[in-house]
Each structure stands twice: as C-alpha cells, then as structure tokens.
C-alpha cells in the first residue's frame, strides 16, 4: 500500500479551528499525522466536530511570544515538529482610498508578520534534524491582485517572496518550503460576498465553481509529504480551477 509518509509526523497548523485550516487538520489526521493547531477564541466553532485527538493551542499569530510558547508546547506533548502550515489569515477589504491605516496594519500583522511568527520558532530545530516541510497559504489575490484587496494582496504576494527565499536558504539543511495559492474557496472568508460578485467571479472560473477546503487540503498534504513532493521546494501550487493570473 502506498502512503504519503506522514504517519506519526508532527504537524503544526495555524487557524485550524475552521475553514481551510480545519479541513487540513482533519485530512492530516486521516493520513496518520500527529496534528497540533491554533485557534484564537472560537475553538468551539465546530461544536465538538473537530477531528479527534488533535492538540488545540490557543494562540494569536500576531503575538510572537504566543507562537514561541505554542511551539514549545507542541514539541513537549507531541515531539519534534516535521511540518508547519501557516494558514491563519484575514481580510479587511476596501477600495484603496477608503482603506484605513488600521485595516492595512491589521492584515499585515496577521497575514505577513503572523507567517514569520509561525515559522520562526521551528526553523532551527528543523535545520538541526535535517528535515522538515513548511507550507504557507497565499492567495490568487497575491498573484494577480483583486479590487478592494490592496492590503490583502500585498501580504499574500509578500508570503510568496518569503517562501522562495527561505526555500533557497533551507535546502542545504534538507528542509523544504512551498506555497499553496488557492483561488476562491467556499469558507467563511468568501461566504459574505454579495451574490452578484460571487456570480461574476464564478463566471471567470473555467471550473464554474468555487473550490472546496478539501481541494486545498490535499495540495497542502502533497507539499508536506516527504515522499510525494520530496524534490519540490520554492514552488507555488495553485488550487484555483484554472482561474489564472
């Protein structure tokens, strides 16, 4: 029987309590990984439906010290971390002239600084052990831009530059870093879009539908896998139904 080689691997996922993150947690568990995930205050979002056995850790990714503490907690309870999925993200959309400095900063704090806070505590240990796989969740907005998302697109483009540079540094230590770049996915993040906007976007997507969290989760699992993507690093894997840049 073939496997992705994730059995008993310890994997840390930010924003694992709902949306794409929760689906990633669930899939990784089904693939045999030992998963820890962060939530902020809404761990009960799924009301008991969260995957069994995963380790929930309360942490806000804007807080570097909280992520340091989370990393130590995972290592203590589950062992050395093999994989990290920097998934937590927010939007605060507005036309640029109306976009406040606060909304600019809030999105930078979570989507860009948060990624740094997430990866940093694990990187030295991975280098020492000579193995590891890092996956950051970017977005189609970061690749082609999107009306109302100057702040969000800036962070998601920055994450791609970060990962491509980190991949070059990390390769000599046997550590890989990649990006998953979803198109429009059915989660809370997109559910508030007006129907008119949803219809317009759907018409632009050759698949004629939004993606599902599972579509993204499988791409994350592929990039985490020491077997399936062993020679893949510094890549951006698009999961967008051919809704290209």
Residue 164: which of 77, 78, 237 has the closest Cα? Answer: 237
For ligand NDP, which is the closer residue by CB, 175 or 189? 189
For ligand NDP, which is the closer residue by CB, 171 or 207? 207
**Is the Cβ–Cβ distance between 130 and 136 less than 8 Å?**
no
Q: Residues interacting with ligand NDP, by CB under 6 A?
A: 14-15, 17-21, 38-42, 45, 60-62, 87-90, 110, 137, 139, 182, 184-185, 187-190
Residue 153: which of 163, 139, 138, 142 has the closest Cα? Answer: 142
Min dist. Cβ of residue 212 to ligand NDP (A): 10
Residues 6+ apart with CB under 8 A from 126: 81, 82, 132, 170, 173, 175
Residue 123: which of 81, 86, 160 has the closest Cα? Answer: 81
Min dist. Cβ of residue 17 to ligand NDP (A): 5
Query: Of 127, 152, 173, 231, which is the active-site residue?
Result: 152
Q: Is residue 127 annotated as a catalytic residue, yes or no?
A: no
Min dist. Cβ of residue 129 to ligand NDP (A): 26
User: Using CA atoms, how far apart are residues 87 and 15, in angstroms rounded to an integer?
Assistant: 6
For ligand NDP, which is the closer residue by CB, 50 or 137? 137
Q: Looking up tokens 């962060």, which residue turns up?
A: 38
Min dist. Cβ of residue 24 to ligand NDP (A): 9
User: Using CA atoms, how far apart are residues 67 and 124, in angstroms rounded to an integer?
Assistant: 15
Q: Looking up tokens 């990006």, which residue turns up?
A: 179
For ligand NDP, which is the closer residue by CB, 78 or 205? 205
User: Using CA atoms, how far apart are residues 74 and 63, in angstroms rounded to an integer?
Assistant: 17
Q: Which CA distances in Å does 199 have to 22, 39, 64, 205? A: 26, 32, 39, 10
For ligand NDP, which is the closer residue by CB, 173 or 202? 202
Min dist. Cβ of residue 64 to ligand NDP (A): 12
Provide the annotated active-site residues.
Answer: 152
């Amino acid at each position: 029987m073939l496997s992705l080689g994730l059995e008993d691997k310890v994997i840390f996922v930010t924003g694992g309590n709902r949306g794409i993150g929760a689906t990633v947690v669930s899939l990784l568990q089904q693939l045999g990984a030992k998963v820890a995930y962060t939530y902020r205050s809404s761990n009960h979002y799924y009301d008991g439906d969260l995957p069994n056995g995963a380790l929930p850790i309360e942490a806000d990714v804007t807080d570097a010290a909280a992520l340091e503490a989370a990393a130590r907690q995972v290592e203590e309870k589950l062992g050395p971390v093999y994989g990290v999925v920097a998934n937590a993200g927010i939007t605060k959309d507005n036309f640029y002239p109306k976009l406040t400095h606060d909304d600019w900063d809030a999105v930078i704090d979570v989507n860009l600084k948060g990624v740094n806070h997430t990866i940093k505590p694990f990187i030295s240990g991975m280098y020492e052990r000579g193995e590891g796989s890092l996956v950051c969740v970017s977005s189609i907005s970061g690749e082609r831009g999107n009306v109302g998302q100057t702040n969000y697109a800036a962070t998601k483009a920055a994450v791609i530059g970060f990962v491509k540079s980190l991949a070059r540094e990390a390769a000599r230590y046997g550590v890989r870093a990649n990006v998953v770049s979803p198109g429009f996915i059915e989660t809370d993040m997109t559910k508030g879009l007006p129907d008119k906007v949803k219809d317009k976007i759907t018409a632009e997507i050759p698949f004629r539908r939004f993606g599902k969290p599972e579509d993204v989760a499988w791409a994350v699992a592929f990039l985490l896998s020491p077997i399936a993507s062993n020679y893949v690093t510094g890549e951006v894997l698009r999961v967008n139904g051919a809704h290209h840049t």
